Structure 1
Amino acid sequence: MWQLYQFPLCPFSRKVRLLLSEKGVAYELERENPWEGRDEFYALNPAGRTPVLRNAERNITLVDSRAICEYFEETVDKTPMIVGTAQNRAEIRRLVALFDENFYNDVTLPFLNERMKKRLFMRAPPDSQLLRSAMKLANDHLDYMDWLIDNRPWLAGSQMSLADLAAAAQISVADYLGGIDWSGHEQTRGWYSVFKSRPSFRPLLSERMDVIKPPSHYADVNA
């Protein structure tokens, strides 16, 4: 059995959870709080970052969400997530990088720092200027997603792909922390509502962090 070492508001852990569920791969969750710095976890991943996927029976340890997703693309035929022509696959990987890197650094990370890290560990108020800047950048990203959805059934093409999973994982964390203003983004909002209705996504929406609560619309599949 696979064991996924993850943190509930880690978007990269969420991306892997979505992929494993869509592919029907059984796994157990192991909560790994990044602030604890456990020696046992550093032995699995010296970088100390989630997610890490471990199968003790097979002596396999996988680190980094993109590497984990590519591993299961290569080893599990069900529900392929990097599909199509070479050009299509390149576009999927481009968008995965866009959300894993740009969206994360522009939006998700600032909200994690200001709304979670400062509150739980630093006992300090969030920087409102940084939050306003992150929300503006979130709006820019959603504008681009609106354009993609206007021109394609899914973000990278004609069918759901790893690009959609990466985007939904990042947006779900930012949305939990109050970082998404959906007004004026009906295309992306509709796309995200479809994701919220999928069986793979429902467990993510039901989880809650101690002290930090999401907005009322967070788990509403119609919102």
Structure 2
Amino acid sequence: MNKGIFVTGTATDIGKTYVTALLVKKLREAGCDTAYFKAAVSGNRRDEKGSLIPGDAAFVKDISGIPQPLDTMCPYVYENAVSPHLAAKIEGDPTELEKVVWCYEKLCGEYEYVICEGSGGIVCPIRYDEKIIMLEDIIKALDLPTIIIADAGLGTINSAVLTCHYMKAQGLKIRGLILNHFHKGDIMEEDNKFMCRQLTGLPVIACIGDGDTDIHIPAEQLKRICTSGGEL
């Protein structure tokens, strides 16, 4: 049985990579052999040899301290800072779902947990030519439950509720929400936390403040979240 979670967000640049790094770090510190995986990542720089470096993967590796080789983390790496479907049109090498699944399953055979990160928000075209692959297609192919990352500030009620409704309509399993850039005691952000729970029917699993180096989820709870069929 594969153990893991798919991290998506209400928008791009919402803090998915930062939160994912903390989730991986939490599992590693709990003694779990944990890997990171992202099917397609764009907006990357080249090293001195001209090779593209998957920046999100490098960040997670640095923050979490996992020894996983960088070249096993992202099968599709693009240079242009645009949606993966457009980056592939510009650069070539469009995403193949079969390769994504093969790379993921290989990690599942080598690690106890695999934490996957999505590209952009939930409505993200990964490939759009003679084949159409949306982000939800990858989540379904990997058969993973999800966590939604949302900003704690103004507008998050709307974006969180719409994201949840879309994902539920697609038949995706949602474990809960994590609020990023959270300021404890802020009246608006505390109310956002309450309203997100009320209007989505989902738990707010954790709130993360700027500069936090730990995610306040008990390791055993996180393990349950990452287990297929597991409850909070």
TM-score normalised to structure 1 length = 0.36
Higher helix share goes to which structure? 1
